[in-house]
Structure 1
Amino acid sequence: MAVPGAGARAGRRAGRGPDVAVVGSGPNGLAAAVTMARAGLRVELYEAAPQVGGGLRSAPIFRDDVLHDICASVHPMALASPFLRQFDLPAHGVELLVPEVGYAHPLDGTRAAVAYRSLERTCAGLGADGPRWRALMEPLVRHSGAVVDLMLLGRSRLPAGAAAPALLGRRVLAHGTRAAGHRFAGPEAAALLAGVAAHVVGPLPSLTGAAVAMMLGHLAHTEGGWPLVRGGSGRLADALAAELVRLGGRIVTGTRIDDLREVADARVVLLDLAPKEFLRLAGPLLPAGYRRSLRSYRYGPGAAKVDYLVSEPVPWAAPEARRAGTVHLGGSEQEIFRAERLVADGVRPPDPFVLVVDPAVTDPGRAAGRLRPVWAYAHVPHGDPADPVELVTRRIERWAPGFRDTVVASRGLSAAQLELYNPNYVGGDIAAGALTLRQSVLRPAPRWNPYRTPLPGTYLCSASTPPGPGVHGMCGFLAARSALAREFGIRIPADAAWI
């Protein structure tokens, strides 16, 4: 499938250049490449790593028969994404497994707040706050298609009616300010929502955190839920890459592009790169004003990753957490808010917010006998160099006593090391840019078309462009759609996501 090394690049230069060159093979780069190839264009994709996928890679770490998700593991927006829906993952051999418990949030003792796929069951478990959770989530679930389109299509298409903007607007204002702490009577529902808001990886409460909580929170109660890919996230990337090759595209791995002029013989270039990387490739070629905008682009706090090989399922004290696809560790709402504010201020908290996934709970095939992978992230300050293994192990042990005794092997990647693994994760920022209110709207620079750069035929398509982070491919699709219209006169609807 992939052509290794720079020799392939030299061979291409001897002949006619491609219509499109794509640099970077994360989910957005792959989506952009497939969209352009689907339009009948000749596409070449370049990836510096030996394997395509970016944040969608899976690989053995400790044993050949146990596969670990290197970055993303759970994909709440996979079935919601217009691009991936139209791609038809099952037809390409990708099976998404939806756990009955989308996410759980352990509290003290054996208590846990639990988000079931069934909204009814979730509300029943939240006691006096059940009606409040229903009032919060049920309208979003009922209008999920419009809510998702508003969040993922953004200004590329006007919303169909006022229902989704009104529903989101009211809830974001109610849960994105200091008043958020007074919306629930008990600790369970408040912690459950705060744990989802913490996916914004920034200070809380915030309007962007509330928007993320509404988007991801309601999806947990839809048919698509919070799924995992059977066999590992890398299978999704492999399916996209295989489709690109089937359409005549060419993939060159192990080749790092260091200067934009290396792909100058392509009519159009799509860059699945963060602004820092774009500046590295093209800085001297860019107008001074645009260059200043990219240099002022803000990156957020970091993530520190730990991979474990364990001898049994995580022994959560709360029984329902043992069935969860994702487990949020942060304690109460106020504990989460305090830890996230410290991290945003550059202070490593002793009790950071941690996300844990035991993939074999949902996909038993991920285990090899008694051995199984466990995936965990901690939110830490930007660029934090500390090895996270002990910090994360201690946090898991608080809610899963005895976990330490099940660990056969572990590997930590600090926030600083995460950037070395993937340069788009600047300082360990897996969102490819701080999700502030301004940068949610003007991402990565104040331009009417956020994908088009001042350089002729050159477009950005990474998570640093709208609609931002997540495994949905929409940044790549929308950038490709923009390039198709302007450079090739091919127009496709924003919500079609396919040709």
Structure 2
Amino acid sequence: MRTGGRTGSGGAPDAVVIGTGPNGLAAGVTLARAGLRVELYEAAGTIGGGLRSLPLFDSQVLHDICAAVHPMGAASPFLRAFDLAAHGVELLRAPVAYGHPLPTGPAALAWHDLDATVAGLGADGPAWRRLMAPLVEHSTEVVRLFLSDLRTPPTDLATPLLLAERILRHGTVLARHQFRTEQAAALLAGVAAHGVGRLPSPAAGAIAVLLGHLAHSSGWPLARGGSQAIARALADDITAHGGVIHTGTPVTDLRELPRAKAVLADVAPKGLLALAGPRLPAGYARQLARYRYGPAAAKVDYLVDGAVPWADAGLRQAGTVHLGGTRAQLYAGETLTARGQLSPSPFVLVVDPAVTDPGRAHGGRRPVWAYAHVPHGDPVDRHELVTSAIERHAPGFRDTVLAHRTVTGAQWEAYNPNYVGGDIGAGAISLRQSLFRPAVRWNPYRTPLPGLYLCSAATPPGPAVHGMSGHLAARAALRREFGIRLADLP
């Protein structure tokens, strides 16, 4: 299948992009808007990578196959400049960004409204405000720093200092002493668990302060109609600027591509080794081979009849729900998983999209999206584990399930080769590897091969749907290969 405006024009492309996940599409948008002839190649029959939505069980009910909630999409400088709304994409926010039920007592709720969150956290309300309010006030600067190439010095030191103090307190052993109540402690620990690694850690602390404060600023939204809406908007912009997208066209060797001045690969380091083979210098190839991948996600897609019957009424307004118990239980479970052992009570994320986007429900039928953190490469069907975790906090959920589909950790890589061993973050998130993804180089996007760039989530700023890795790699290629310098994003 081929779509686009330059098919049959006879001209060789200026640039080629391998992969149409959010970063590949962002790279394509950036290159095409700069006036280049661009072609994108996608192995699957549809574009999107982690932004695909499909009707798995019912033709009227769409399920988000990978990413469902997009806090980084709402905050991303690239997507803000692209202006999703102007391209027909509406980001919807639930009143409660995320919630966290506990074994005893009420669930902890992170309302979009910071004051409401503070009021609900009782004795820890003031501590939550001290943590989050300055971050919300400086959210633009915080996001710009986190979603940079992690090489460019910040324009001011206030933001790094603001973050360093909070990461030290919430990303080290000090984290165990920051809150007096289980509600606040678990609420932040659930966000830190998005780091998919041992807890506490500086990398997880950074994720906690970044994602945590976004709940009270740009939010944790869903795209109306499903995540595919974001991919479709980016792809439409590429073709509107003359780009060509080839789907169902796997690339197994760089020599299969048309001759172009720049090639940008939205692939994992393992994929780059397969594409470039022995042509890569030995030292760089060794660094790619040593690149570490993290734990896996075991996903379950449900078709259900009615909303998730959460026992705590507050969770019924939550866009995302974190399951995993108290802070101590989360720390123990995530650390065990990072060591390659299955936790008896793993961290589980649950999204009932129709809470935020009622249009996702049809005649009472609606999708429920859930996954558990499991060891890297885990081959076991974890449907019962995930269902039992939800049932503990939503009695009767099991009775609402009309159909389900499981994707094991091991199966993810077959769906998307970037998810090596089921690692949907395209690489373990540690402090060192976050700074030096995928290799120790000043320009993390440029490879030693002339004109070849890496633009996947294995490059800074890392995982999530923000497009910045693709955008920043494209900027690097434009500067070096074409002498084109773009204005900085706002």
Range of TM-score over shorter length: over 0.9
Mapped pair 1:182 → 2:140: no
Supply the distance in 2 between the matched residues of 1:292 and 1:55 (Cα, whole angstroms).
28
1:408 aligned counterpart, secondary structure? strand
Offset of 1:98 from its aligned partner?
Answer: 1.1
Residues 478 and 494 of structure 1 are in contact (CA less than 8 Å); yes or no, is this contact kept in structure 2?
no
Matches within 5 A, 1:5-16: 15-16=10-11
Code of the aligned partner of 1:94: V
Code of the aligned partner of 1:413: V
Mapped pair 1:260 → 2:254: yes
Supply the distance in 1 between the matched residues of 2:320 and 2:117 (Cα, whole angstroms).
15
Matches within 5 A, 1:153-302: 153-222=148-217, 224-302=218-296
1:55 corresponds to which residue?
50
1:396 corresponds to which residue?
390
Q: How many residues align?
A: 489
Mapped pair 1:443 → 2:471: no
1:308 aligned counterpart, secondary structure? strand
Supply the distance in 2 between the matched residues of 1:77 and 1:432 (Cα, whole angstroms).
16
Matches within 5 A, 1:65-80: 65-80=60-75
Offset of 1:301 from its aligned partner?
Answer: 0.4
Supply the distance in 1 between the matched residues of 2:426 and 2:185 (Cα, whole angstroms).
28
1:317 corresponds to which residue?
311
- TM-score, normalised by the number of residues in structure 2: 0.98
Offset of 1:262 from its aligned partner?
Answer: 1.2
Code of the aligned partner of 1:239: A
Supply the distance in 1 between the matched residues of 2:310 and 2:225 (Cα, whole angstroms).
24
Bigger mean CA deviation after superposition, 262-271 or 307-316: 262-271
Ranges of 4+ aligned residues in structure 1 off by more than 2 Å = 154-158, 493-496
Offset of 1:78 from its aligned partner?
Answer: 1.3
1:385 corresponds to which residue?
379
Code of the aligned partner of 1:3: R
1:433 corresponds to which residue?
427
Supply the distance in 2 between the matched residues of 1:309 and 1:431 (Cα, whole angstroms).
26
Mapped pair 1:28 → 2:32: no
Mapped pair 1:81 → 2:76: yes
1:482 to 461, 476, 479: 476
1:93 to 81, 88, 93: 88
Bigger mean CA deviation after superposition, 159-168 or 135-144: 159-168
1:293 aligned counterpart, secondary structure? helix
Offset of 1:493 from its aligned partner?
Answer: 3.5
Code of the aligned partner of 1:142: E
Residues 274 and 432 of structure 1 are in contact (CA less than 8 Å); yes or no, is this contact kept in structure 2?
yes
Offset of 1:156 from its aligned partner?
Answer: 4.9
1:305 corresponds to which residue?
299
1:18 corresponds to which residue?
13
1:374 corresponds to which residue?
368
2:140 corresponds to which residue?
145
Residues 146 and 160 of structure 1 are in contact (CA less than 8 Å); yes or no, is this contact kept in structure 2?
no
1:289-310 Cα shifts (integer Å, max 9, x gaps): 0000000000000001100000
Bigger mean CA deviation after superposition, 158-167 or 333-342: 158-167
Mapped pair 1:112 → 2:107: yes
Residues 103 and 326 of structure 2 are in contact (CA less than 8 Å); yes or no, is this contact kept in structure 1?
no
1:495 corresponds to which residue?
489
Supply the distance in 1 between the matched residues of 2:265 and 2:151 (Cα, whole angstroms).
19
1:226-284 Cα shifts (integer Å, max 9, x gaps): 00000000010000000000000000000100001112501100000000011111121
Code of the aligned partner of 1:383: G
Residues 140 and 147 of structure 1 are in contact (CA less than 8 Å); yes or no, is this contact kept in structure 2?
yes
Supply the distance in 1 between the matched residues of 2:309 and 2:216 (Cα, whole angstroms).
25
Residues 176 and 205 of structure 1 are in contact (CA less than 8 Å); yes or no, is this contact kept in structure 2?
yes
1:358-403 Cα shifts (integer Å, max 9, x gaps): 0000000000111000000100000000111111001101111111
Supply the distance in 1 between the matched residues of 2:40 and 2:433 (Cα, whole angstroms).
28
Offset of 1:99 from its aligned partner?
Answer: 1.1
1:450-476 Cα shifts (integer Å, max 9, x gaps): 000001000000000000001100000
Code of the aligned partner of 1:342: L
2:320 aligned counterpart, secondary structure? strand
Matches within 5 A, 1:310-349: 310-349=304-343
Offset of 1:158 from its aligned partner?
Answer: 2.6
Offset of 1:16 from its aligned partner?
Answer: 3.4
1:124 corresponds to which residue?
119
Gaps of 5+ in 2: none
Offset of 1:66 from its aligned partner?
Answer: 0.4
1:421 corresponds to which residue?
415
Residues 76 and 225 of structure 1 are in contact (CA less than 8 Å); yes or no, is this contact kept in structure 2?
yes
| RMSD between superposed Cα atoms in Å | 1.4
Supply the distance in 2 between the matched residues of 1:274 and 1:60 (Cα, whole angstroms).
28
Bigger mean CA deviation after superposition, 255-264 or 127-136: 255-264
Residues 301 and 370 of structure 2 are in contact (CA less than 8 Å); yes or no, is this contact kept in structure 1?
yes
Code of the aligned partner of 1:18: P
1:360 to 354, 363, 373: 354
1:299-348 Cα shifts (integer Å, max 9, x gaps): 00000110000001001111100100000001100100111011111111
Offset of 1:145 from its aligned partner?
Answer: 0.6
1:351 corresponds to which residue?
345
Offset of 1:154 from its aligned partner?
Answer: 4.0
Code of the aligned partner of 2:363: G
Code of the aligned partner of 1:307: D
Residues 348 and 370 of structure 2 are in contact (CA less than 8 Å); yes or no, is this contact kept in structure 1?
yes
Gaps of 5+ in 1: none
Residues 109 and 318 of structure 1 are in contact (CA less than 8 Å); yes or no, is this contact kept in structure 2?
no
Residues 153 and 495 of structure 1 are in contact (CA less than 8 Å); yes or no, is this contact kept in structure 2?
no
1:3 corresponds to which residue?
2
Supply the distance in 2 between the matched residues of 1:491 and 1:162 (Cα, whole angstroms).
26
Supply the distance in 1 between the matched residues of 2:228 and 2:382 (Cα, whole angstroms).
24
Supply the distance in 1 between the matched residues of 2:349 and 2:267 (Cα, whole angstroms).
25
Equivalent pairs: percent with the same residue? Answer: 64
Residues 110 and 319 of structure 1 are in contact (CA less than 8 Å); yes or no, is this contact kept in structure 2?
no
2:453 to 448, 459, 462: 459
